[in-house]
């Protein structure tokens, strides 16, 4: 196999929701009360919904910027690549990157619909969440059938409403829903509480996959505000292990052998150790912990129920056999700061060229199709049109511009020292203070 022969699916990307998000889905009072993209006095965009403010921040959408301009300052859509929010431009950016299909989480709406979970009027929030799901399917995914993997969000603050939405989404064509890895941060019962039983049951009955995104429930910790920010960024993927270990203890994994969970933006290098440690802990402690793992090892259940995504993880791929070659998928993370764009295909090939052709096909697209039930990719597109070579050829024919462009945005600080966690957090605090002042003056 050669690089241009690969077919690549990204199982973790993001959408910077456009201002027209609800325009074709709602009308009248429902449209008027829906989340709105607004502009502050400094020309920066933010989303407002039921009194809550969510800014559009830099590292969520810095793809195409010079590296030195990365930061967490509030931004506006005109500072971003059009592919961040326009589906037509996104397809161009996927082609130039050699990506055949993509699963996209929200940005401002939240990885699991956090904007709606925080809203006080849950009746309205449910209707607006449904409208978001319809937009995601009708206007984003079906604009280019097969090129996107539909990903729904659920009103988990109401178990029956969540079950009803699972059934509705399944009929519409969804095969994957995003959930919070630790719903207790939303004031909901833990994943082990019977509250979730009907939701899990509905998901399994509809042959859906649960997507858990890093940072939705368990925040990546940083040592102090004086710690250089690179330390925080370096350990972010490792924070996923806490949530995975929790879900690995889920009773339903024993009850539903076909239950599927995909872990997004967490990478894979740490997975073999977690499985090894879980087996060791079970061996040494199951006699007194009343563990569910009496006749099966945690590592066996991990391979049966979990898929993991990598972006840049040569170490993890060297241990592919330990993780399971059927349990690994690829991700780009467009347009976040880690996103390998516009040269994802080249950097992916550098990591996988030592694998067998069968293994390359699995980690680049076959595992994603299997775990996310995305047979639609080949139903709507010819295989030969989805290779890296074919995607690159289309992008070249269109003349897609990949040159870095300055956004004119702020940087965390100008001193000659490493940027710290505190510097980045201060950007958040400064923005919050300005917004409070502006709202008070208004």
- pLDDT value for 332: 98
As a whole-number percent, the residues of the chain with pLDDT over 70 amount to 95
Query: 308-346 in b/e burial notation, b at 16+ Cβ within 10 A?
Result: bbbbbbeebbeebebbbbebbbbbbbbbbbbbbbbebbe
Task: Indicate the class that CATH gives domain 3-218+233-400.
Answer: alpha beta
- pLDDT value for 438: 67
Dist CA 293 CA 290 (whole Å): 9
- pLDDT value for 412: 67
* Of 175, 184, 128, nearest in space to 157 by CA: 184
pLDDT tens-place string over residues 54-99: 877 667 788 998 888 887 666 788 888 999 999 999 999 999 999 9
- pLDDT value for 416: 81
| Domain extent listing, the chain | 3-218+233-400
Ranges of residues in the chain with a pLDDT under 70 are 57-58, 72-74, 408-413, 431-432, 435-436, 438-442
Dist CA 331 CA 317 (whole Å): 14
- What rounded mean pLDDT belongs to the chain? 93
Dist CA 388 CA 360 (whole Å): 13
Contact 126, 155 (CB under 8 A): yes
Dist CA 90 CA 95 (whole Å): 9
Tokens 């399994």 sit at which residue? 204
Q: Phi/psi at 166 (nearest 5 deg)? A: -60, -50
pLDDT tens-place string over residues 227-252: 998 998 899 899 999 999 999 999 99
pLDDT tens-place string over residues 270-321: 999 999 999 999 999 999 999 999 999 999 999 999 999 999 999 999 999 9
Distance of CA 401 to the CA centre of its chain: 25
- The pTM of the whole model exceeds 0.85: yes
Contact 364, 101 (CB under 8 A): no
Contact 115, 34 (CB under 8 A): no
- pLDDT value for 72: 66
- pLDDT value for 60: 78
Token representation of residue 428? 């958040």
């Amino acid at each position: 196999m050669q690089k241009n022969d690969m077919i690549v699916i990204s199982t973790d990307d993001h959408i910077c929701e456009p201002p027209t998000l609800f325009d074709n889905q709602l009308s009248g009072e429902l449209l008027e009360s829906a989340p709105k993209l607004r502009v502050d006095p400094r020309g920066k965009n933010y989303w407002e919904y039921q009194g809550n403010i969510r800014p559009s921040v830099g590292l969520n959408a810095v793809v195409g910027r010079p590296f030195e301009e990365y930061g967490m300052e509030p931004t506006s859509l005109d500072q971003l690549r059009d592919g961040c929010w326009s589906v037509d431009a996104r397809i161009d950016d996927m082609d130039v990157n050699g990506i055949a299909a993509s699963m996209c989480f929200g940005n401002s709406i939240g990885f699991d619909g956090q904007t709606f979970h925080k809203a006080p009027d849950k009746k309205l929030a449910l209707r607006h969440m449904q409208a978001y799901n319809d937009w995601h399917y009708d206007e984003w995914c079906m604009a280019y059938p097969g090129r996107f993997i539909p990903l729904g969000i659920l009103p988990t603050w109401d178990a029956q409403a969540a079950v009803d939405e699972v059934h509705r989404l399944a009929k519409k064509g969804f095969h994957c829903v995003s959930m919070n890895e630790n719903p207790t941060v939303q004031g909901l019962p833990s994943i082990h509480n019977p509250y979730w039983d009907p939701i899990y049951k509905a998901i399994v009955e509809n042959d859906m996959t649960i997507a858990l995104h890093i940072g939705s429930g368990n925040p990546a910790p940083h040592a102090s505000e004086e710690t250089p920010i690179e330390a925080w960024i370096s350990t972010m993927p490792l924070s996923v292990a806490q949530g995975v270990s929790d879900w690995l203890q889920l009773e339903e994994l024993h009850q539903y052998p076909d239950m599927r969970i995909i872990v997004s933006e967490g990478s894979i290098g740490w997975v073999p150790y977690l499985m090894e440690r879980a087996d060791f802990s079970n061996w040494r402690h199951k006699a007194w912990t009343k563990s569910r793992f009496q006749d099966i090892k945690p590592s066996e259940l991990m391979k049966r129920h979990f898929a993991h995504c990598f972006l840049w993880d040569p170490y993890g791929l060297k241990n592919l056999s330990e993780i399971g070659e059927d349990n690994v998928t690829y991700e780009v993370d467009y347009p976040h700061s880690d996103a390998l764009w516009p040269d994802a295909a080249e950097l992916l090939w550098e990591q996988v060229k030592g694998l067998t052709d069968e293994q390359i096909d699995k980690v680049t697209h076959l595992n994603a199709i299997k775990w996310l039930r995305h047979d639609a990719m080949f139903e709507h597109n010819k295989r030969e049109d989805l290779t890296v070579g074919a995607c690159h050829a289309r992008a070249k024919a269109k003349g897609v511009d990949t040159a870095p462009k300055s956004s004119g945005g702020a940087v965390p600080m100008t001193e000659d020292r490493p940027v710290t966690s505190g510097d980045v957090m201060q950007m958040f605090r400064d923005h919050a203070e300005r917004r409070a002042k502006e709202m008070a003056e208004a």
